[in-house]
Structure 1
């Protein structure tokens, strides 16, 4: 990579073309979609030439895949890696989304691209499997009787809330969180009944009351 590059206007630009291209892709793909964003427009926003763009990304497909990787490479560490929350609280924290949360970029990419063999579509599938796996792992830590089932249920609920939020243009995650709490509590084993602190032996049946 050369030290200085020329943008489409002929002005010299410093290093960082790759980051500008990715920044432009995040803005444009989010605001107008992948298919409606052409490389000419993307290069103009990123202030790089098309030649420079293709030096960093061999194709638009390659750029779209990297755009998705940049969103959440560690799979929601702000939720699953928190040590200040119990496993149950971490499961619920996965639904703590602001009302302005846009459609999940992985769902959006899969819907737009149509091609299951597209590298971005493959990455979207891998990401969704990774989310379900982290939910399952946390459900297991919480003591769920069927953690795989609970993980898949919660993953489906997250995706449904994201899609509904996009369609209705209003937040659906509070409702999803309430449903998740019911699913989680139903999946966790019931706590054993507390025994009296002064009990000296096995609990005895209370004698029948007189009539």
Structure 2
């Protein structure tokens, strides 16, 4: 940060405040959890006043929902929109997650909030449903006998691998990918038999 970015009191100017708040929320919510992060700490990390934070977000609930929206608003487009992969390869690419990736922010948020009506819980639920739909669409393209069921099974495998990786501190995604390949191949064979 240069001196031009600072106001007369030495604090950062308002320009870019929303982005700084969101960056700080991504860091702090991941490291400390939503409940463990107070607005005072978040504002200090972002270099903004609480007044500025509340000008951009009506409250912490709105900030948490926007925090989730920023992760993947297009629902795994880096996987499902790849034209260079077959539908089967796209499905298996969804399991190609770096072992250092922290627990899925959607799962972590829903677990921590305990409120199914919280805007962030609703967003997490919608996102998880959208992942299952994208998996089902790819399964349909691959020729699966029951693409909706397979999409739900594969979504469950992804979420289970994310949780298991976090709990046992070891990468569970390779095993989940192997199970996914078996499910996928069985579903495609059953679809071919029709």
For normalisation by structure 1, the TM-score amounts to 0.85
Please state if 1:155 is matched with 2:163: no
Of Structure 1 and Structure 2, the greater helix share is in 2
- How far apart, in 2, do the equivalents of 1:129 and 1:191 lie? 23
1:103–1:166: 8 Å Cα contact kept in structure 2? yes
- The answer for the alignment partner of 2:89 in structure 1 is 89
Corresponding residue SS for 1:79 = helix
3-state DSSP of counterpart to 2:189: coil
Alpha carbons of structure 1 residues 188 and 178: separation in structure 2 relative to 1, 3 Å: same
For the 8 Å contact 1:5–1:15, the answer to whether it is kept is: no
Which residue does the alignment assign to 2:187?
Answer: 187
Partner of 1:43: 43
Tell me, yes or no, if structure 1 residue 26 matches structure 2 residue 12.
no
Q: Which residue is equivalent to 2:108?
A: 108
Q: Are 2:166 and 1:166 equivalent residues in the alignment?
A: yes
In the superposition, relative to structure 1, how do residues 14 and 141 fare at CA in structure 2: closer, same or farther (>3 Å)?
Answer: same
Contact 2:79 2:90 in 1 (8 A): yes
- Aligned Cα root-mean-square deviation (Å): 1.7
Which residue is equivalent to 1:66? 66
Q: Distance in 1 between matches of 2:71 and 2:7?
A: 28
Moved over 6 A (4+): none
1:206 corresponds to: none
How many aligned residue pairs are there?
188
Q: Note the C-alpha offset of 1:33.
A: 0.3
Distance 2:15 2:86 in 1: 44
The answer for the alignment partner of 2:141 in structure 1 is: 141
Contact 2:87-2:138 within 8 A present in 1 as well: yes
Give the direction of change, closer, same or farther, for the CA distance of 1:14–1:53 in structure 2 (3 Å limit).
closer
- Of 23-32 and 182-191, the range deviating more from structure 2: 182-191
CA offset at residue 45 of structure 1? Answer: 0.2
User: What are structure 1's unaligned runs of at least 5 residues?
Assistant: 193-211
- Cα deviation digits, residues 134-159 of structure 1 (max 9, x gap): 00000000000100010000000000
SS of residue paired to 1:110:
helix
Q: Which has the larger radius of gyration?
A: 1
Does the 8 Å CA contact 1:6/1:48 hold for their aligned counterparts?
A: no
Stretches of structure 2 that go unaligned for 5 or more consecutive residues are none
Aligned mates of 1:12, 1:43 — CA distance in 2: 11
